[in-house]
Structure 1
Amino acid sequence: MSKNYQAATSRALLSSRVLNREILRLTLPALGTLVAEPLFRILDTAMVGHLGADILAGLGVGSTILTTAVALMIFLAYATTPAVARYVGAGRMGEAIQAGISGIYLAALIGVLIALLLALIPGLLVGFFLDGQSLAGRSAHTYLIISSAGVPAILITFAASGLVRGLQDTLTPLLISGAGFACNAVLNAIFIYGLGWGIAGSATGTVIAEWGMAAALVWHINKKARATGASWRPSLRGIKASGIGGSWLLLRTLTLRVCTVLAVVAATQHSTQAAAGFQIINSVFMLLAFIFDSLAIACQALIGKTLGASDKVLTQKIVRRVALWGVYSGIIAGVLVALGANFLGAIFTADQAVLVILPQAFITLAILQPLCAIVFIYDGVLIGAGDNKYLGLAGIFNLCCYSPAFALLVYNLQLDAGYYLSFNILAIMGVYMVSRLATLGLRVRSEKWLKFGIVR
């Protein structure tokens, strides 16, 4: 990639219309890919649900343990995308592929370790939730042991997707995710019902689909590697660099997870109605978060590329433009939630005690969506810049800011369930998000994250 070509590309992107198209080109496929993973779990739930409540409960516990372990490793994608994009921006395509390959090796290593852990102590993990001798407990045990074989594939897919996104391509991961979902549906139908394997069939079908997706992405990357002369030979230096950068993002993700768990704990401490209401509200928020996160992923890819090209003007224009998109999407999301405040709950439950407390909670959620959206965008900016250490340390600070709000909730359990649920949402999506906006916003405005060229 010549410097003249890079300069021409930068000048073209300075046009707001062209930049909007580029953001949309990256965002829409990223959104589809983000939705694919939850669809895997929904498909499992729908098919296993016909086998009985006990087996479905086992699936729920097994899937929760697996998802929790895997969700913490999303840094494998987030760390790889900007690292690859920087090399792309600098016109060093072979080194871009090489950086991503190091991320894939790290993902495989971590995946094997987690898989061994899950396979060796499934009884202990399941025992935190269910009686291991019950049908539900045995089902969770079976699901977890078989599903552990797919963990390396999931993490390889994370890293490989991050590599491809760094190459400014979010469409290929979407197409492979779509094919994987279709394959999973067919295999589960065959194994669960055709062969009568029950929950073991569900886990087996999903594992095969996960490995198929990982293989497809690696095959796609191998074509790029051969074209650029990149080598698949493991680089200890590259793997170490991926691990160090990713460890700070792991800390960031862990603090996010802790805050979410504390919010769930606060809800369960109050009442069944508050716990059920929070689950519904959080499910709606996670759906909206896919939209914000897809914009953040586009931001990661674009920012990494322009920093690699040492283009300060375009980098700052992208930040302003994507932030504007984030605000608009947050406002639209908030309006839609507010309009459906009196009706959305009925999609999830028929329990009147829960339904009566939801409208007020949905209004609280709606008001906070623009704030949540801009936090996602600024997070994407700093991830794209590789400002991982700051994100990890800021995560600890944000958790400390949220802790007093959590304590106030726990010590005010006498509140009406409706008010308590609303205050819980205000704490996790208000107090916590304001703290994140402060730390992320100040960093973005300071320009200390603007490190151009290849950062080692």
Structure 2
Amino acid sequence: MVLAAEPLYLLVDTAVVGNLGTVSLGGLAIGGGLLAYVAALLNFLAYGTTARAARRAGAGDRDGAVAEGVQATWLALALGVGLVAVLQVAAGPLTRLLAGGAGPVADAAEEWLRVACLGLPLLLLALAGNGWLRGVQELRRPMGYVLAGSLVSLVLCPLLVHTAGMGLVGSAVANVAGQSVSAALFVRALTRELASTGISLRPRPAALRAQLVLGRDLLLRAAVLQLAFAAAAAVVARSGTAELGAHQIALQLWLFLALVLDAYAIAAQTLVGTALGAARPAEARETARRVVGWGLGTGVLVALLLLALRPVLPPLFTDDPAVLAEAGVVWWFLALMQPLAGVVFALDGVLMGAGDVAYLRTVTVGSALVGFVPLSLLSGWLDWGLPGVWTGLTLFIVLRLVAVGWRVRGSAWLGETVAR
């Protein structure tokens, strides 16, 4: 659930900001998209830490698992502070690039991004905390922490945007406030754990390097994926403000639902890592079988709910007739790919738990460069609009499904190890 934090913040923002008009909604699409891309690039702080911590916990070394959390926390702080500095300098050029030039949408995006990026160190702290807690099979506390922060954001966002009259900036302030609450809870959990052990709080260069080695493939995987999403957003932005607004609504729902479905991947990652750390490969394979079934079933359920709620959900985000018309077109893509996505995300978790991240990197990069990116760019050239872009996203999911399904049917992933 914690990995859904940023999409959840942006989903709430989309519903609240959509009532300010298409310029604000377009600004949130650009600025929020950039922030979500950066957060997704660094989700190895959660995934990589979980894999390493779960292996140590499975081998009976809980202190070692918690120590992974300490080093991940230092890494999160360093990366977060550095990214704030970069985005404060580059916010204007980046938003103008994605908006297709200077204008009201680019200005709105820059204004939102400069405030919202201040929460990046907090968000990364939450990712690191989620990683080690999942590794020791503490799954309830991370959910409670991120829900507490989301509740703060949910309450503050409409108050600051509408009641206080802060407009689009109010949503950014609400996000940072919510992220502060979640980060504080994760840091408190770590310090309490350290108080009962002899684990050092100091950064250890060797451990940080080891985490970066594991994170390297995850980072490259995420980088190509986020560049693919950025290219798609740039194509849609040039199609018109209504199309961009509809894309923002559908994409934030897709990202949120992807990370909700990823709950099975998270469970698989922890259980597979623990099983392999304890040298129980048969248990790891059985876990893979179960999570595929649950991912498929949940994906079907989500698809049916989206189709049933099609007349209800889009108007919650905007009352603009042009945006609603475009959202109606893309809604079919959003709903019908959910069963496939449920299986893909579950299998991703299995391979991450096994430390098979190099294969995941290759599959994701290949699927993006063969399917998603070419169709998105072709859509801009041939004026296919949103249907073309979302066909590319669907093909991306299908290609990944074939590749990871084939991998898990074999046995190579059972022999992968995580460097200590």
* Pair in the same fold by TM > 0.5: yes
Quick one: structure 1 residues 319 and 260, their matched pair in 2 at CA, closer, same or farther if it must change by over 3 Å? same
Paired position in structure 2 for 1:19: none
Structure 1: how far apart are the matches of 2:26 and 2:387? Answer: 29
Paired position in structure 1 for 2:190: 221
Is the 8 Å Cα contact of residues 132 and 138 (structure 1) preserved in structure 2? no
Paired position in structure 1 for 2:393: 428
Structure 1: how far apart are the matches of 2:325 and 2:167? Answer: 38
Matched, 1:73 2:73: no
Stretches of structure 1 that go unaligned for 5 or more consecutive residues are: 1-29
Structure 2: how far apart are the matches of 1:303 and 1:199? Answer: 43
Matched, 1:373 2:342: yes
Is the 8 Å Cα contact of residues 146 and 204 (structure 1) preserved in structure 2? yes
Matched, 1:445 2:409: yes
Which one-letter code corresponds to 1:258 in the other structure?
L
Structure 2: how far apart are the matches of 1:450 and 1:290? Answer: 25
Shift of 1:303: 1.2
1:25-36 maps to which residues of 2 (within 5 A)? 30=1, 33-36=2-5
Matched, 1:298 2:262: no
Is the 8 Å Cα contact of residues 88 and 305 (structure 1) preserved in structure 2? yes
Quick one: structure 1 residues 66 and 387, their matched pair in 2 at CA, closer, same or farther if it must change by over 3 Å? same
* 1:63-95, Cα deviation, whole Å (9 max, x unpaired): 443333223211211111111111111110111
Structure 2: how far apart are the matches of 1:146 and 1:407? Answer: 31
Which one-letter code corresponds to 2:391 in the other structure?
L
Paired position in structure 2 for 1:15: none
Matched, 1:37 2:3: no
Structure 2: how far apart are the matches of 1:177 and 1:65? Answer: 21
Matched, 1:246 2:210: no
Paired position in structure 2 for 1:125: 94
Which one-letter code corresponds to 1:229 in the other structure?
G
Matched, 1:175 2:144: yes
Is the 8 Å Cα contact of residues 4 and 260 (structure 2) preserved in structure 1? no
Paired position in structure 1 for 2:276: 307
Quick one: structure 1 residues 378 and 137, their matched pair in 2 at CA, closer, same or farther if it must change by over 3 Å? closer
Quick one: structure 1 residues 328 and 222, their matched pair in 2 at CA, closer, same or farther if it must change by over 3 Å? same
Is the 8 Å Cα contact of residues 59 and 143 (structure 1) preserved in structure 2? yes
1:41-56 maps to which residues of 2 (within 5 A)? 41-42=10-11
Quick one: structure 1 residues 410 and 146, their matched pair in 2 at CA, closer, same or farther if it must change by over 3 Å? closer
* 1:336-377, Cα deviation, whole Å (9 max, x unpaired): 344455666555566666666766654454443322221111
SS in 2 for 1:292: helix
Paired position in structure 2 for 1:391: 360
Shift of 1:275: 5.1
Which one-letter code corresponds to 1:447 in the other structure?
S
* 1:20-53, Cα deviation, whole Å (9 max, x unpaired): xxxxxxxxxx3xx455434434555677788888
Is the 8 Å Cα contact of residues 46 and 128 (structure 2) preserved in structure 1? yes
SS in 1 for 2:75: helix
Structure 2: how far apart are the matches of 1:66 and 1:380? Answer: 24
1:281-296 maps to which residues of 2 (within 5 A)? 281-296=250-265
1:101-120 maps to which residues of 2 (within 5 A)? 101-120=70-89
Quick one: structure 1 residues 113 and 350, their matched pair in 2 at CA, closer, same or farther if it must change by over 3 Å? closer
* 1:294-320, Cα deviation, whole Å (9 max, x unpaired): 211111111111111111111111000
Shift of 1:436: 0.9
1:147-226 maps to which residues of 2 (within 5 A)? 147-184=116-153, 203-204=172-173, 206-226=175-195
Structure 2: how far apart are the matches of 1:227 and 1:56? Answer: 48
Which one-letter code corresponds to 2:406 in the other structure?
L
Structure 2: how far apart are the matches of 1:324 and 1:214? Answer: 33
Is the 8 Å Cα contact of residues 341 and 360 (structure 1) preserved in structure 2? no
Instruction: Using the TM superposition, name which of 339-348 and 156-165 deviates more.
Output: 339-348
Is the 8 Å Cα contact of residues 293 and 376 (structure 1) preserved in structure 2? yes
Quick one: structure 1 residues 336 and 348, their matched pair in 2 at CA, closer, same or farther if it must change by over 3 Å? same
Structure 1: how far apart are the matches of 2:156 and 2:174? Answer: 5
Which one-letter code corresponds to 1:77 in the other structure?
A
Is the 8 Å Cα contact of residues 263 and 428 (structure 1) preserved in structure 2? no
Shift of 1:260: 2.7
Quick one: structure 1 residues 263 and 121, their matched pair in 2 at CA, closer, same or farther if it must change by over 3 Å? closer
Paired position in structure 2 for 1:21: none
Instruction: Using the TM superposition, name which of 340-349 and 141-150 deviates more.
Output: 340-349
Quick one: structure 1 residues 37 and 340, their matched pair in 2 at CA, closer, same or farther if it must change by over 3 Å? same
Shift of 1:123: 3.6
SS in 1 for 2:38: helix
Paired position in structure 2 for 1:260: 229
Stretches of structure 2 that go unaligned for 5 or more consecutive residues are: none
Quick one: structure 1 residues 389 and 145, their matched pair in 2 at CA, closer, same or farther if it must change by over 3 Å? same
SS in 2 for 1:231: coil
What TM-score, normalized by structure 1, do the two folds share? 0.78
Instruction: Count residues in correspondence.
Output: 419
Is the 8 Å Cα contact of residues 249 and 317 (structure 2) preserved in structure 1? yes
Shift of 1:180: 2.2
Is the 8 Å Cα contact of residues 181 and 209 (structure 1) preserved in structure 2? yes
Paired position in structure 2 for 1:327: 296
Quick one: structure 1 residues 271 and 295, their matched pair in 2 at CA, closer, same or farther if it must change by over 3 Å? same
Give the CA RMSD over aligned residues: 3.7
Is the 8 Å Cα contact of residues 36 and 181 (structure 1) preserved in structure 2? yes
Paired position in structure 1 for 2:69: 100
